[in-house]
């Protein structure tokens, strides 16, 4: 067993006691009640999911295992000579809640290296798809195509005990995660770089290897590490995390579950918003005959978008009620690496103008930017101008969080998810009874 797996097993054994105690001794403790508005309105704020991997406060933003973004970046071992930590160290941290030392981190890097080879048939599947297929469709199909590799499914039908479920789930999740950067880079180079695949490098971490396979020089490796970590987890209620968890709750394996989560991420008001931000900015440039917009131009363009009944991509959030700290972390990278870049200046100008317009418009509860408003400009700067690829980058990152979560779902034996629906007649009856 690898050091990470041994550590995880210890954690699982002690955590199971806590969950069992809550179910046995405190199952009837009331923690919330549901309103008709929540029932119809997307189950906002209803506390009915458990995760210890990240938590989200509307004003503070995300914490990974109780650490803020900067605490996480500072605590984890860094790739020598680089500004951002190993993604592999972050995976260890998300799974166990413990910060690994360099030896433990390098053991995960080596383990992932061994698991990283993508089966040839995955490339055949991708190549059989029409080249103008959206990269998210390709990414999801590649993940699903590998389902035949699932150890969990094989062991389940061999009659494995429930308390052992986490083990092959861990194996599947590590096998899957180790392959995702190669699959993403393959899709990119096949679609947009004349089908010139760059094989993985030797002894590289996930971020370094991804930059290498994309054919983009340093510091894009650091941009990749930062991107994957920042996009990993945002507690469990968002569409991609929830979809992955929901499908996994039927004891579907990691391949089925992650593919479902990626399909959710591909929605334009969830992960696809990062491509929409760049599309929308390009539209603004186009409308102004290619000129960099002024604040007044932008204000008018934002109003035009709202008046046409469309959303301002990259702004608003279902939980957050202030600027997303992931946006700030990405902005800090831009301030260091591309401070004079025109597109970055436009993104900053949108930040100056859009919140006041959204407040005046009066619909969005959160007029502030989320991470999608800031992520695309970084990839554009390093030469990835094909913005329909951006959500795949989000997807590689999101996989880290959701896969860590479904290993724990299995470890704690969470049941199949099955909320109760009601009819409109019932809601109307309860509304009448309430006066």
- List residues with catalytic annotation: 270, 317, 372
Helix (H) or strand (E) holding 54: strand 54-57
CB of 324 to ligand AMX, least distance (A): 8
CA distance 158 to 69: 42
- CA neighbor of 410 nearest in space, from 161, 236, 242, 176: 161
Q: Is 372 in the site for ligand AMX (CB under 6 A)?
A: yes
Two tokens, residue 372: 């999608």
Q: What's the min distance (Å) between Cβ of 222 and ligand AMX? A: 22
44 Cβ contact list (under 8 Å, min separation 6): 37, 38, 318
Closer of 205 and 372 to ligand AMX (Cβ): 372
| 392 near ligand AMX, judged by CB under 6 A | no
Task: Work out the angle at residue 258's Cα, subtended by the Cα atoms of residues 12 and 187, and round it to the nearest 5 degrees.
Answer: 135
Q: Write out the two tokens for 48.
A: 């009915």
- Give the shortest CB-312-to-ligand AMX separation in angstroms: 4
CA 330/CA 311 separation, integer angstroms? 22
- Asked if 314 touches ligand AMX (CB under 6 A), the answer is yes
Shortest reach from residue 224's CB to ligand AMX, in Å: 18
Q: Contact letters (x/-) for ligand AMX, 47-76, by CB under 6 A?
A: ------------------------------
Asked if 316 touches ligand AMX (CB under 6 A), the answer is yes
Of the candidates 312, 353, 396, 407, which one interacts with ligand AMX according to CB under 6 A?
312
Which residues have a Cβ under 8 Å from the Cβ of 180 and sit 6 or more positions away?
143, 395, 396, 399
Helix axes 390-411, 273-287, angle to 10 degrees: 160
Selected binder of ligand AMX within 366, 406, 407, 411 (CB under 6 A): 366
Residue 202 has phi, psi (to 5 degrees) of -95, 145
Residue 395 as a binder of ligand AMX (CB under 6 A): the answer is no
- d(Cα 340, Cα 125) in Å, to the nearest integer? 42
Rule CB under 6 A: choose which of 100, 271, 293, 397 binds ligand AMX.
271
Stretch that binds ligand AMX, among 46-54, 181-189, 281-289, 364-372 (CB under 6 A): 364-372
- Interface of this chain with ligand AMX, residues 280 to 309, rule: CB under 6 A: 306
Nearer to ligand AMX, 42 or 339 (CB): 42
Contact 224, 210 (CB under 8 A): yes
Of 1, 102, 250, 269, the residue at the interface with ligand AMX (CB under 6 A) is 269
- Contact positions vs ligand AMX (CB under 6 A): 238, 269-271, 273, 306, 311-318, 363-366, 370, 372
């Amino acid at each position: 067993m690898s050091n990470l797996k041994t550590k995880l097993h210890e954690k699982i054994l002690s955590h199971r006691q806590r969950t069992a105690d809550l179910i046995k001794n405190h199952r009837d403790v009331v923690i919330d009640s549901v309103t008709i508005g929540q029932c119809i309105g997307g189950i906002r704020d209803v506390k009915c999911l458990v995760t210890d991997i990240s938590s989200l406060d509307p004003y503070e933003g995300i914490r990974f295992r109780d650490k803020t973004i900067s605490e996480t970046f500072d605590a984890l071992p860094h790739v020598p000579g680089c500004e951002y930590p190993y993604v592999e160290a972050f995976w260890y941290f998300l799974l166990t809640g413990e910060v690994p030392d360099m030896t433990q981190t390098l053991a995960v890097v080596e383990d992932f290296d061994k698991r990283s080879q993508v089966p040839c048939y995955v490339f055949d599947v991708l190549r059989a798809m029409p080249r103008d297929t959206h990269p998210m469709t390709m990414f999801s199909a590649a993940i699903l195509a590998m389902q035949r590799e699932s150890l969990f499914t094989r062991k389940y039908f061999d009659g494995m005990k429930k308390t052992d479920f986490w083990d092959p789930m861990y194996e599947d999740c590590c096998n899957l995660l180790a392959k995702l950067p190669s699959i993403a880079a393959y899709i990119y180079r096949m679609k947009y770089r004349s089908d010139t695949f760059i094989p993985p490098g030797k002894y590289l971490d996930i971020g370094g290897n991804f930059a290498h396979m994309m054919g983009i020089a340093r510091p894009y490796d650091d941009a990749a590490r930062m991107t994957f970590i920042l996009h990993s987890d945002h507690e469990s209620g968002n569409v991609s995390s929830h979809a992955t968890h929901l499908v996994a709750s039927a004891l579907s394996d990691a391949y089925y579950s992650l593919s479902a989560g990626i399909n959710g991420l591909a929605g334009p008001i969830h992960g696809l918003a990062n491509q929409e931000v760049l599309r929308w900015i390009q539209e603004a440039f186009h409308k102004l005959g290619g000129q960099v917009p002024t604040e007044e131009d932008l204000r008018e363009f934002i109003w035009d978008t709202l008046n046409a009944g469309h959303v301002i991509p990259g702004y608003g959030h279902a939980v957050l009620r202030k600027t997303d700290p992931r946006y700030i972390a990405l902005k800090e990278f831009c301030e260091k690496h591309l401070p004079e870049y025109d597109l970055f200046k436009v993104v900053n100008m949108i930040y100056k103008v859009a919140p006041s317009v959204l407040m005046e418009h009066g619909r969005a509860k959160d007029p502030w930017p989320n991470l999608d408003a800031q992520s695309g400009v970084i990839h554009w700067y390093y030469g990835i101008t094909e913005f329909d690829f951006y959500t795949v980058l989000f997807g590689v990152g999101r996989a880290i969080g959701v896969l860590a979560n479904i290993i724990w779902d299995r470890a704690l034996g969470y049941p199949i998810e099955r909320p109760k629906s009601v009819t409109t007649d019932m809601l109307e009856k309860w509304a009448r009874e309430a006066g």
